[in-house]
């Protein structure tokens, strides 16, 4: 596969670790992505309802009244979102990427707003509302633009101008072939953005495992958000093909409403996303900041020989670092002076699970202790005092680990 199509932010050791930790049983997949299935069904229901309503809108009313209003609203959302992202980027590249995405889309929406008053625009077939090859290319380029954010999230810093141009060349080549050959290649143009989206989808699980290997809390960094984003992107892509093929401008109602929902929801989510790669640097892989003695915290093994397992478990039981919701893999360097790769491999080989599950075992034990000693304590307080970032995260993890909900477990104590 060409390098410009490959999303692989992981080292060989990371890949080996993923292969040993990935479980493909249906129940786990369902537990991980159940909310995304419901999210997708809600989007489909909304699309179906808006399309049904559009059938009752006269074409003249839609063309002369609704389209300019919707386009103006979409442009305003994009430009405001771009301003918010640039103002609150905090040095995070993925926020700047989303800001540029919104800025370019807002300007493109402004151009579309201008061309709606010209029936013989080059992006529409004369006398119809079906897109020409140039219209398909323009739409696909905007679709590719929406792939920049998940690309940056899955592989930060990988996308540059050279790779961007290489990725866009196939669409340009298809446009030229459509002009030279006596065949209609417009629908073929839609397959290439779909291929790029599919490649991104195949790397979501690897990204999720990477997060679980390095963090004890998936709050604001989990792959669930990327799944939802790609679900919205797929729905927008399908609605675009649905709109552009036939002579039915009222279908733009669904397209524009989906875009507006996607842009508002995405801006809100990205504004509060954490950067999971922030601690992956040369200092995180070793160096002066990682060189500590095993006895720095007064923890030594029998005979003065370092016993990594005993040191780690003694530290976890005495210091209880897992009570901090922001506890992450590199914090283990306080007792084990290893780099990130060796630490993750050590946890996986020793305990048969990634760091996320290793820490949550301690948190569940702490939560069970609290519920036994304080049966009247609220579950939200139990979640906070045992190191979970939210009650929802606590309930989900508790059920996965014990097979029963916290409330049911507390009743049987």
Q: Rounded mean pLDDT of 156-184?
A: 78
* Predicted pLDDT at 101: 93
Please check whether residue 131 is in contact with residue 240, taking contact to mean a CB–CB distance below 8 angstroms: no
Residue 259 has pLDDT above 60, yes or no: yes
How sure is the predictor about 176, in pLDDT bands with cuts at 50, 70 and 90?
Answer: confident
328 three-state secondary structure: strand
| Location of each CATH 1.20.1070 domain in the chain | 10-271
Binned at pLDDT 50, 70 and 90, residue 76 comes out as very high
pLDDT at 62 over 80: no
The mean pLDDT of 217-233, rounded to a whole number, is 77
Are 272 and 220 in contact, with CB atoms under 8 Å apart? yes
pLDDT of 9 higher than 50: no
CATH number of 10-271: 1.20.1070
Greater confidence, 211 or 126? 211
| Max mean pLDDT range (176-190, 204-218, 295-309) | 204-218
pTM of the model as a whole:
0.70
Residue 244 is predicted with a pLDDT of 62
Is 199's pLDDT higher than 70? Answer: yes
- State residue 211's pLDDT score: 80
SS (H, E, C) 158-226: CCCHHHHHHHHHHHHHHHHHHHHCCCCCHHHHCHHHHHHHHHHHHCHHHHHHHHHHHECCCCCCCCHHH
Higher pLDDT, 345 or 82: 82
Return mean pLDDT, the chain.
75
Q: What is the rounded average pLDDT of the residues 354-359?
A: 89
Reported confidence tier of residue 247, pLDDT bands at 50, 70, 90: low
Mean pLDDT along residues 92-102: 90
pLDDT of residue 140 exceeding 60, the answer is yes
Given this model, what pLDDT does residue 107 score?
92
Mean pLDDT of 238-244: 71
pLDDT higher than threshold 60 for residue 169: yes
Share of the chain above pLDDT 90, in %: 9
Sequence ranges of the chain with CATH classification 1.10.10.60: 308-411
Angle between helices 340-351 and 204-214 (to 10 degrees): 90
Residue of 263, 220, 229 lying closest to 82 (CA atoms): 263
Tell the CATH topology of 308-411.
Answer: Arc Repressor Mutant, subunit A (1.10.10)
């Amino acid at each position: 596969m060409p390098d410009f199509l490959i999303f692989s932010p992981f080292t060989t050791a990371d890949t080996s670790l993923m292969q040993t930790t990935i479980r493909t049983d249906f129940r786990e997949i369902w537990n991980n992505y159940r909310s995304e299935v419901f999210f997708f069904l809600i989007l489909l229901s909304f699309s179906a309802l808006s399309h049904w309503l559009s059938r009752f809108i006269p074409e003249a009313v839609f063309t002369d009244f609704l389209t300019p209003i919707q386009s103006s609203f979409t442009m305003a959302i994009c430009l405001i979102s771009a301003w918010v992202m640039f103002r609150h980027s905090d040095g995070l590249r993925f926020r700047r990427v989303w800001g540029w995405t919104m800025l370019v889309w807002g300007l493109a929406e402004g151009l579309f707003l201008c061309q709606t008053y010209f029936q013989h625009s080059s992006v529409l077939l004369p006398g119809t509302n079906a897109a020409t090859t140039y219209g398909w290319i323009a739409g696909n380029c905007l679709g590719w633009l929406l792939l920049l954010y998940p690309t940056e999230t899955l592989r930060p810093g990988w996308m540059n101008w050279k790779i961007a141009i290489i990725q866009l060349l196939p669409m340009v080549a298809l446009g030229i072939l459509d002009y030279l050959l006596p065949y209609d290649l417009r629908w073929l143009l839609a397959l290439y953005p779909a291929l790029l989206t599919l490649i991104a989808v195949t790397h979501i699980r690897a990204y999720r495992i990477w997060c679980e290997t390095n963090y004890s809390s998936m709050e604001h960094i989990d792959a669930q958000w990327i799944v939802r984003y790609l679900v919205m992107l797929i729905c927008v892509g399908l609605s675009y093909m649905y709109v552009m093929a036939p002579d039915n401008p009222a279908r733009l109602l669904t397209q524009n409403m989906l875009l507006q929902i996607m842009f508002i929801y995405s801006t809100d989510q990205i504004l509060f996303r954490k950067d999971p790669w922030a601690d992956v640097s040369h200092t995180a892989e070793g160096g002066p900041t990682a060189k500590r003695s095993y006895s720095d915290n007064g923890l030594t093994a029998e005979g003065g020989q370092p016993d990594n397992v005993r040191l780690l478990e003694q530290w976890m039981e005495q210091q209880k670092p897992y009570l901090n919701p922001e506890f992450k893999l590199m914090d283990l360097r306080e007792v084990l002076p290893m780099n990130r790769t060796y630490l993750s491999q050590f946890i996986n080989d020793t305990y048969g699970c990634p760091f996320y599950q290793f820490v949550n075992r301690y948190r569940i034990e702490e939560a069970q202790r609290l519920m036994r000693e304080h049966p009247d304590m609220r579950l939200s307080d139990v979640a906070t005092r045992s190191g979970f970032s939210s009650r929802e995260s606590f309930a989900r993890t508790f059920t996965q680990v014990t097979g029963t909900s916290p409330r049911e477990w507390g009743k049987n104590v």
